[in-house]
Structure 1
Amino acid sequence: MNTSYDDIWTAFLNNCKVSDIDLPQIPEKMFEYIKNSVMHFNNRFRTTIVCDDDLEELSEELSNDYLLILAHYIRLIFLKNQRTYFESLWQPFSKDVGLKNFSTQLNSLKSSVQEQERTIDSLVMNMEDDFL
């Protein structure tokens, strides 16, 4: 049995809480987040997992370790998109709204991205330790 999109999205929601208002509300947008995270996952692990939007599943069954890592990749992409959106939206107005506040918010987003990257690295390392 292959891993379903519902399994992936549930793992993401259970492990990587984000503001409900910022979450995509239509399936197509959720699918985009899943497919993008699978691309990052495939790059990291040199796998060739394929997404099937019609069946709403991956081409194979993921272990719990891989499912957790994939969920965290969704969060990483989510945070990077938030940072990019914030920069592009507010940077032109940063002097008007106060440079200190803009810098503080931007640093917070950058810190969240770095923390998420460290979390993924830690999960990968924990998985590798099982093989030693």
Structure 2
Amino acid sequence: MTSYDEIYTTFLNNCMVSDLDLPQTDKGKYEMIKNAVLHYNNRLRTKLTCDDATESVSEKLDDDHLLILAHYIRYHFLLNEKTYFESLWQPFEKDVGLKNFGTQLRSLESSVTEQARFIDSLIINTEVDFL
């Protein structure tokens, strides 16, 4: 079994984000991990489950799959950050004189797209090549 701490540490080591934007409670961290596991299961057609009591997932993940799961956490972190920025500032962009709203939004969209592509490349790298 892989511990939540191992997953979260891998996320922090590979996906630097501001500590201010990360959940400060264990419950918030658990929810980030559970959400990533849902998407991981959907994409890889696995049945990985989370257990908050033991703070672990149901299988021992190898390094490749641990990295994929950590990057799914980052992907959803970036997606939520983009949605938050867009919903917070778009209604007021003209009122407050936010001149670079479009540029910042494109930058966030680019980060989300880049992260999705990176996850794809990590998944492709796990495939066994029989040629």
Pairwise same-fold verdict (TM > 0.5): yes
Residue 61 of structure 1: CA displacement?
Answer: 0.7
Partner of residue 16, structure 2: 17
Residue 100 of structure 1: CA displacement?
Answer: 3.8
Extract structure 1 runs of 4+ deviating beyond 4 A: none
Partner of residue 106, structure 2: 107
Partner of residue 84, structure 2: 85
| Structure (1 or 2) with the greater helix fraction | 1
Question: Given the two structures, how large is their TM-score scaled by the length of structure 1?
Answer: 0.95
Indicate the SS of the match to 2:100. helix
Query: Percent identity over the alignment?
Result: 65
Residue 98 of structure 1: CA displacement?
Answer: 3.4
Question: Given the two structures, how large is their TM-score scaled by the length of structure 2?
Answer: 0.95
Indicate the SS of the match to 2:59. coil
Give per-residue Cα distances to partners, 1:27-52, cap 9 Å, x unaligned. 00000000000000000010011000
Structure 2 Cα separation of the partners of residues 60 and 26 of structure 1:
24
Q: Does 1:57 align with 2:56?
A: yes
- Ranges in structure 1 where 5+ consecutive residues have no aligned partner: none
What number of residue pairs does the alignment pair up? 130
